[in-house]
Amino acid sequence: MIKIFRDYAVSDILSREIDDYGEYEEVVKGILADVRARGDEALKEYGKKFDGAELDSLEVTEEEFAAAEGALSEDYKRVVRTSAENIAAFHSRQVREGFEVRKDGVLLGQKYTPLSVAGVYVPGGTASYPSTVLMDIIPAKIAGVGQVIMVTPVKADGKVKPEILYAAKVAGADRVFKTGGAQAIAALAYGTQTVPRADVIVGPGNIYVALAKKLVYGTVNIDMIAGPSEILVIADGKSDPVFVAADLLSQAEHDKLASAVLVTDSERLAEAVQAEVERQLCGMEREEIARASIENNGKIIVCESIEKAVEISNEIAPEHLEVCVDDPVSLLPEIKNAGSIFLGRYTPEALGDYYAGPNHTLPTGGSARFSSPLSVDNFVKRSSYICYTRGGLESAAEDVIKFAESEGLCGHANSVKVRLNKA
């Protein structure tokens, strides 16, 4: 049963701990080194070991894409295309433009350059997520990335689920490879005979994937280290306990480590939601997972006001935040720390997972205090540029020389002096 906290300290009831990768680290390091050394051969061996699949080829063929599309209903494919259109419409507004400043013989500017290769990891564990395919590939394509490649585990028959392949086609993936786990991250980080080396790796995964991304960062860029899913619901006494319970369980079903938290100013709502969560749990398709999540990480916090609830939410910094009050927009300026914010009683988090348009690859574990959702920005780099005429250099020379000499870097100073015959 989900626990209710009336006397609380947020730091005491949060179950987040510093990630302990110790028992996994040596295994992941071994996989990374093996793939770096042996490439495709190692990927095929790990595919057999972990997925039970004998793979002749790692790359998905056009015939496999066509078969996947043919296996799906027209209505399902329409839904995927509509979601893709919504995601593209939102992310298209994120495209940045460079700028230039010109004054007295000086040109300063900043430009954005798309990355050459982006690697997208799509998990295939307890559930498959074509929505993640759309969310991670579409921003890369909008950014203008030269080549977007996707990696994902296969089933024992060596096939990728048709929903995943169709989403990859709709999103615009250039190539798809049948490999998952830490070995897939290694392939993207170092390249193999078949898999191109990526400039950035994005997408969620299990602890082996998360640790692999952490270990290869620096060789390649990454989006974030994604942890278990989280939802926090701020709700007042007018909220429907059936709605609130359903939203808490929508995240609890992801993972036994997922967390679902309600913060409310209503004792009555707290007790009603507690009972309703228990009622809805019974008979859920993923009841075992959801129940473990609720019992271990589910919490209801009763506080004195909705304003206090916002303070608590900011301290927790949840991945998903729902604000179930009459005028949620009025609270938006006070919400400082959240990955994605869902405003109003008829905006369930599921809208963001699949359909609305904003990205669902979000900061977890409290990292919403300092980081942001996946966006077009993850797939571009910015460079600054400087151009001085002789006159521009003359106007700045004495200041630059003085600054350089104050740091004891006479060579820096001399590079200015020689241009103005002052050496």
Closest CA to 152 of 25, 29, 55, 218: 55
Closest CA to 21 of 182, 201, 258, 184: 182
Quote the CA–CA distance of 61 and 67 in Å, as a whole number: 10
CB 88 within 8 A of CB 142: yes
CB 137 within 8 A of CB 88: no
Compute the radius of gyration of the chain from its Cα atoms: 25
319 assigned to active site: yes
Most distant CA atoms of the chain, gap in Å: 85
- Phi, psi torsion values for 7, nearest 5 degrees: -105, 115
> 64, 163, 276, 319: which one is catalytic?
319
> 64, 254, 276, 320: which one is catalytic?
320
Is residue 74 classed exposed, middle or buried when 0-12, 13-18 and 19+ CB atoms within 10 A define those classes? exposed
Residue type, 421: N
Q: CA distances (Å), 391 to each of 105, 109, 256, 397, 420, in order?
A: 6, 19, 66, 10, 10
Quote the CA–CA distance of 273 and 280 in Å, as a whole number: 10
Quote the CA–CA distance of 161 and 74 in Å, as a whole number: 17
Structure tokens, 287: 């009841």
3-state secondary structure of 420: helix
Helix (H) or strand (E) holding 214: helix 207-216
- Phi, psi torsion values for 232, nearest 5 degrees: -125, 130
CB 373 within 8 A of CB 340: yes
Closest CA to 225 of 208, 241, 243, 211: 211
Quote the CA–CA distance of 247 and 273 in Å, as a whole number: 11
Quote the CA–CA distance of 26 and 38 in Å, as a whole number: 18
CA end-to-end span of the chain: 79
Positions annotated as catalytic residues are: 319-320
